[in-house]
Homo-oligomer: A and B are copies of this chain.
């Protein structure tokens, strides 16, 4: 049984484990004030090409989202998210648990546009309703699509004109940036959004996300919020060492390229076999639509999620690739598809 279920099925990229081993006995400060974390943050700033951002290392995506969003918003302010947004339906009400409503917009492709947001603003006009204040987007999205530069520019422009914060969940930002369709860089993203995070967990780390706060007014006292929400690891070095290794010489991007390449291999072969896809996803998640009978056959050898029924005979499945996805496994899967 080989798993294409997600991009967190294995441990960490071997170089990361090695970095942990090599630094293991060095004594250093706790709570992210160690040399490794400081260096990792400096390195990230270099990669982004800016020194005027604040960067914090946190342990996971939900933790990062809830800490950031609750720190940024006042009690009556709400987030806007696509109907597929991770914070909306897959974080057990984490944002609401900090007191904030999420206003959702039904979209097909996982992405928000100014038109979508304007529709929400039009409905929220007075103090009997929450005040929309933060736009939450994911890149790549929960269904594998990515934002293009012009889309993000339009969103950014719209948010600034409407006094909204633009926040990007980058759990799979590596894959988005390394997509062959991508026309965005870390630096450009930092100029267009008010805060975003660079996901480590789903891109080779054991755990860890690097939150980048770009907007000056959102920076103050952020470490208090991390501590209050339980995210300040005593051995914060664990995060620092990993991000240092990921960005020391572009391992982060190599990992994402590999994951995307494996997904592309799968996709291209499925296209050749005339299969269609639920979404146009140029990243490490693909959603081919297969006949139920073939899905059942595949399940005997491969683990994956059945994403949604398409009709009585067909369903979309989700295949996810990662740093650990082996080319042989992809080849075997393709052979099985061809055979079936």
A117 at interface (Cβ–Cβ under 8 A)? no
Within 8 A of B (CB), among A1-48: 2-3, 5-6, 8-12, 14, 17, 20-21, 23-31
A124-132, A183-191, A285-293 - interface stretch: A124-132
Number of A interface residues in the complex (CB < 8 A): 78
Are A62 and B232 also in contact (CB < 8 A) when A30-B8, A92-B76, A99-B97 are?
A: yes
Are A70 and B63 also in contact (CB < 8 A) when A94-B230, A101-B93, A224-B92 are?
A: no
Within 8 A of B (CB), among A82-116: 89-94, 96-102
**Cβ contacts under 8 Å, A224 to chain B:** 76, 92, 127, 130-131
Query: Are B227's CB and A89's CB within 8 A?
Result: no
A134-142, A233-241, A249-257, A276-284 - interface stretch: A233-241
Q: Name the contact of A127 in the complex, choosing from B28, B63, B221 (C-beta under 8 A).
A: B221
**Cβ contacts under 8 Å, A238 to chain B:** 11, 206-207
Q: How many copies does the complex hold?
A: 4
Q: Name the contact of A128 in the complex, choosing from B9, B90, B235, B237 (C-beta under 8 A).
A: B90
Interface residues of A, Cβ cutoff 8 Å to B: 2-3, 5-6, 8-12, 14, 17, 20-21, 23-31, 59-67, 70-71, 74-76, 78, 89-94, 96-102, 123, 127-131, 201-202, 206-207, 221, 223-235, 237-238, 303, 324
